[in-house]
């Protein structure tokens, strides 16, 4: 029973973490940082 409670808490924690990231529109596996970096390079060149 204890092991089931621990596994349940881990699943709950993972779901909570994912939901907060979703609310903040965070996407860990996209390449938006590359687009941002390129936009700053274009501004620096001007």
* Dist. CA 18–CA 33, nearest whole Å: 20
Q: How much is the pLDDT for 9?
A: 97
* Assigned token pair, 35: 């687009």
Question: What string of H, E and C letters represents the secondary structure of the chain?
Answer: CHHHHHHHHHHHHHHHHHHHHHHCCCCCCCCHHHHHHHHHHHHHHC
Sequential pLDDT tens for the chain (46 residues): 999 999 999 999 999 988 888 888 877 667 767 777 777 776 655 5
Q: How much is the pLDDT for 23?
A: 85
Q: How much is the pLDDT for 46?
A: 52
Q: How much is the pLDDT for 6?
A: 96
Residue 10 near residue 2, CB atoms below 8 Å? no
* Dist. CA 27–CA 46, nearest whole Å: 30
- pTM of the shown model: 0.51
């Amino acid at each position: 029973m204890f092991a089931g409670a621990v596994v349940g808490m881990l699943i709950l924690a993972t779901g909570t973490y994912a939901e907060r990231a979703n609310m903040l529109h965070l996407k860990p596996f996209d390449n938006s940082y590359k687009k941002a970096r390129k936009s700053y390079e274009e501004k620096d060149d001007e």
